[in-house]
């Protein structure tokens, strides 16, 4: 079906993530090599509605790989979600002869892409979010960099905790997912990762800290995922101090985690995924999500990816299940079970490794 696709769009939407620029570059460079025209859609779906377009040539994506953020900018658009907005977006694509769009972002971006597909515009989703909360992929673009930032910051905090014999509770991002908290807790030797996914017994933690303190341990790091709710971390720091006598501080890393130069892993992942998205459009595929599964780049139907996400996030409704065959439902459940088992294994390691 090569050549039925002549012009493609590329946009980034939702929260930015380090590595998005590498994906934009990969989409642009491969598409140009394949003889396609590339339209950069600025400011996400909002920019699509405002026809905020600029043709991207090879040199327009030079020297952007090492920059965090997204050169195409990003937004969260409410107008796009309405039927009127979607119809208008599809009409704009037809008028500009855009044959398909690579949409880079998280689950909100994929919802937008799925809706746009329904209105006749082929879309390929590339998972770009620091949260790592897209069930069908082993890793999302930006996750590795965000964790590296957390590790760098925690290492610094630990130095001063050691000098002063203190504890520091730190809150990391991830929305409802505890992935950043769990892996960075392993990588920093934190005493605990406290995440929404698993029950947390503060008395067990306090006892562990009291014992370790008696045993000569001076620094304590507790990594809390933002999914635990507002002010949870601050309150926990106070409780720790009251229960253990260890002077405790709280730090929220917030948007620092979303910036900075992407790691090698994110640059390579984004390049592979961006290129794969163009291949999908060239193959005539209209509604896929690019994913990393067991080191391979694959693609999954957008609706199936959304079902897997809903199962993982416990938001799947009976009406959702009705739209899928038993095989697809089974495949999604198996995928989620695999992701959850891997996460639990990592979570258990945090505890085992910290004494
Ligand atoms: O989805 C990425 C993310 O950084 C989440 O980890 C966080 O909950 C959210 O975005 C913050 O969104 P905003 O940038 O709109 O404050």
Q: What is the pLDDT of residues 227-281, one digit of tens each?
A: 999 999 999 999 999 999 999 999 999 999 999 999 999 999 999 999 999 999 9
Q: Give yes or no for a contact between 12 and 42, defined as CB atoms under 8 angstroms apart.
A: no
* Interacting residues of 84 by C-beta distance below 8 A, sequence separation 6+: none
Q: Are residues 150 and 221 in the same domain?
A: yes
Q: Are residues 95 and 83 in the same domain?
A: yes
Say what the pTM is. Answer: 0.97
- List residues bridging with 103 in a β-sheet: 11, 125
Q: What is the CATH number of the domain that holds 73?
A: 3.40.50.450
Q: Are residues 180 and 250 in the same domain?
A: yes
Q: Is the CB of 173 under 6 A from ligand 1?
A: yes
Q: How far is the CA of 281 from the centre of ligand 1 (A)?
A: 29
In this structure, is residue 323 part of a structural domain?
no
* Interacting residues of 5 by C-beta distance below 8 A, sequence separation 6+: 36, 99, 100, 122, 281, 282, 284
Q: Are residues 226 and 124 in the same domain?
A: no
Tokens at 215, concatenated? 């045993």
What value, to the nearest 5°, has the Cα angle with vertex 226 and ends 221 and 229?
115
Percent of the chain with pLDDT over 70: 99
Among 145, 173, 232, 256, name the best residue to mutate to test ligand 1's pocket (greatest count of ligand atoms within 8 A of Cβ): 173
Q: Are residues 273 and 255 in the same domain?
A: no
Q: Does residue 79 register a pLDDT over 90? A: no
Count other Cβ atoms within 10 Å, centred on residue 95: 9
Count other Cβ atoms within 10 Å, centred on residue 40: 23
What does the mean pLDDT of the chain come to? Answer: 97
Q: In whole angstroms, give the CA distance from residue 179 to residue 263.
A: 17
Q: Are residues 266 and 254 in the same domain?
A: no
Q: Are residues 254 and 284 in the same domain?
A: no
Q: In whole angstroms, give the CA distance from residue 149 to residue 110.
A: 26
At residue 355 the predicted structure's pLDDT band, cuts being 50, 70 and 90, is confident
In this structure, is residue 38 part of a structural domain?
yes
Among 109, 131, 134, name the best residue to mutate to test ligand 1's pocket (greatest count of ligand atoms within 8 A of Cβ): 131
What is the DSSP annotation of 73-101? -----SGGGSHHHHHHHHHHHHHTT--EE
What value, to the nearest 5°, has the Cα angle with vertex 68 and ends 308 and 66?
115
pLDDT tens digit sequence for 150-170: 999 999 999 999 999 999 999
Atom 12 of ligand 1, nearest CA residue: 15
**Nearest in space to 174 (alpha carbons), one of 289, 255, 235:** 255
Atom 14 of ligand 1, nearest CA residue: 15
Q: Are residues 266 and 228 in the same domain?
A: no
In this structure, is residue 337 part of a structural domain?
no
How many separate domains does the chain show?
2
Q: Are residues 276 and 216 in the same domain?
A: no
Residues with catalytic roles: 131
Atom 2 of ligand 1, nearest CA residue: 15
Q: How far is the CA of 282 from the centre of ligand 1 (A)?
A: 32
Atom 11 of ligand 1, nearest CA residue: 15
In this structure, is residue 92 part of a structural domain?
yes
Q: Does residue 77 register a pLDDT over 90? A: no
Q: Are residues 17 and 115 in the same domain?
A: yes
3-state SS, residue 1? coil
pLDDT tens digit sequence for 46-57: 999 999 999 999
* Interacting residues of 36 by C-beta distance below 8 A, sequence separation 6+: 5, 6, 7, 8, 278, 282
Q: How far is the CA of 175 from the centre of ligand 1 (A)?
A: 7
Q: In whole angstroms, give the CA distance from residue 71 to residue 67.
A: 9
Q: What is the CATH number of the domain that holds 241?
A: 3.40.50.460
Q: In whole angstroms, give the CA distance from residue 36 to residue 48.
A: 19
Whole domain around residue 183: which residue ranges? 145-259
Q: Are residues 125 and 17 in the same domain?
A: yes
Q: Quote the pLDDT of residue 266.
A: 98
């Amino acid at each position: 079906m090569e050549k039925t696709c002549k012009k493609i769009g590329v946009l980034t939407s939702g929260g930015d993530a380090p590595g998005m620029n590498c994906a934009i570059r990969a989409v642009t460079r491969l598409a140009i090599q394949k003889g396609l025209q590339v339209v950069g859609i600025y400011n996400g779906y909002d920019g699509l509605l405002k026809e905020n377009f600029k043709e991207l040539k090879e040199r327009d994506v030079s020297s952007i790989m090492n920059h965090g953020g997204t050169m195409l900018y990003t937004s969260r658009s409410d107008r796009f979600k309405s039927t009127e907005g979607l119809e208008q977006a599809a009409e704009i694509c037809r008028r500009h002869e855009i044959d398909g769009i690579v949409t880079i972002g998280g689950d909100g971006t994929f919802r937008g892409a799925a809706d746009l597909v329904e209105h006749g515009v082929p879309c390929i989703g590339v998972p770009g979010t620091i949260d790592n909360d897209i069930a069908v992929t082993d890793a999302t673009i930006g996750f590795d960099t965000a964790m590296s930032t957390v590790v760098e910051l925690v290492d610094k905090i630990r130095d001063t905790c050691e000098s002063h014999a203190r504890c520091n509770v730190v809150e990391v991002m991830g929305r409802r997912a505890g992935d950043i908290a769990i892996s960075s807790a392993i990588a920093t030797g934190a005493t605990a990762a406290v995440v929404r996914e698993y029950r947390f017994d503060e008395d067990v933690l306090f006892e562990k800290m009291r014992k370790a303190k008696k045993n000569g341990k001076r620094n304590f790091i507790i990594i809390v995922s933002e999914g635990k709710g507002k002010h949870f971390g601050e309150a926990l720091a106070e409780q720790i101090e009251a229960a253990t006598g260890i002077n405790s501080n709280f730090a929220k890393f917030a948007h620092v985690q979303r910036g900075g130069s992407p790691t090698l892993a994110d640059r390579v992942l984004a390049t592979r995924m961006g290129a794969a998205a163009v291949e999908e459009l060239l193959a005539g595929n209209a509604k896929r999500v690019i994913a990393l599964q067991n080191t391979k780049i694959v693609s999954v139907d957008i609706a199936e990816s959304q079902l897997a996400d809903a199962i993982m996030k416990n938001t799947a409704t009976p009406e959702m299940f009705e739209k899928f065959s038993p095989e697809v439902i089974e495949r999604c459940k198996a995928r989620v079970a695999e992701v959850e088992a891997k996460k639990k294994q990592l979570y258990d390691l945090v505890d085992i490794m910290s004494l």
